[in-house]
A and B are shown apart, each in its own frame.
Chain A
Amino acid sequence: MLGVGAYRTRNRPARNELLPLPIGEMSWALTDHQGRSVRPKDWAGRPVMVFFGFTWCPDVCPTTLSDISLWLEDLGADANRLIVALISVDPERDTPVVLADYVSNFDPRIIGLTGPAEEVAQAAADFRVTYRRVDKDGGDYTMDHTAGVFLFHPDGRFVSIIDFHEDRRFAVPKIRRTLS
């Protein structure tokens, strides 16, 4: 793991500032919806698709996960090696158990990831994702967050983002390009 430590600094130099790091250079440690620990190195050699969201989100998140489920059905067994992960930006409410309940509504290949606030912040920094808590009346809150779907090649290289309002028909060909 030599070299990884160098990327732990939040205010890292402006190297490709807006692009997500290659998976192998990321340094978060999260827990999946079944309680297993997941680190970037566990994804080595696999194509990766990641979306940031939270389970209290009524519109953007279920819409994106419905779309992702349709894409996965379209891709069929070709997508079986694809890592597909929802990373929660609301770890305070999204425990592994809550995430398990939530992802069970979508394609079974989608995993949920959560963890301590610092690790979620580290993941967001590694993916160049923004999120912020927005307080509502009565103590309730919601989260603003980057809504794109990130695609990575099996060698860990960032490939592209499927934007939230992008024509969804282009998504499947984009994903296909990451699979080989």
Chain B
Amino acid sequence: MNHFLLAAALILSASAAMACETVTIGDLTVEHAWSKATIGAGRPGVFYVEITNTGSTDNALVGIATPAAGMPMLHETVVQDGIASMPHAMSIPVPAGQSVQLSPGGYHGMLMGLTNALKEGDSFPVTLSFEKAGEVTVNVDVLSLRAEGPDCADAGQ
């Protein structure tokens, strides 16, 4: 085995960082938590994540909290008659045996009242509250404003 290749592989997996971490709570797996850089702290930030329910009981994401924002909220981007709006989502269903994505153009965490501008390369914690599984905290990687998602070896996208 070439030591250079091995070292390169280790560095790569280290740089893939926290968005590729997987956190579990009960039957739920939470992974690919990421955000986009913001211009200043005046604009809202965004939070994306993937949640998989491997159990046989339906669950739901009912809230998020983070020290990075004064008013974090769950939203859903809806396009109706070609017009995009972002209504508040009271809860995001995570049905038994299914995966749910908070991803660009769909469900997302809306981080209003940012404490600081989010800079590419930063990370911050977000605590997710589930209807039946309690709370779990994940580390969120801030990617560029242009990013379409984290680059994880195992990521679906």
Contact = CB atoms under 8 A, between A and B. Distances in A.
B39 A145 contact: no
Interface string B108-123: 1011110000000000
B86 interface: yes
Interface string B32-45: 00001111001111
B148 A66 contact: yes
Given A58-B36, A69-B146, A63 B105 contact: yes
Interface in B9-44: 36-39, 42-44
A34 interface: no
A78 interface: no
Contact of A105 (B82, B108, B145): B145
Nearest to A136: B112
A8 B108 CA distance: 40
B129 interface: no
Contact of A142 (B46, B83, B86, B144): B86
Given A138-B113, A145-B83, 12 more contacts: A55-B39, A56-B44, A59-B105, A60-B77, A60-B84, A101-B39, A105-B144, A105-B146, A106-B145, A137-B71, A138-B71, A163-B79
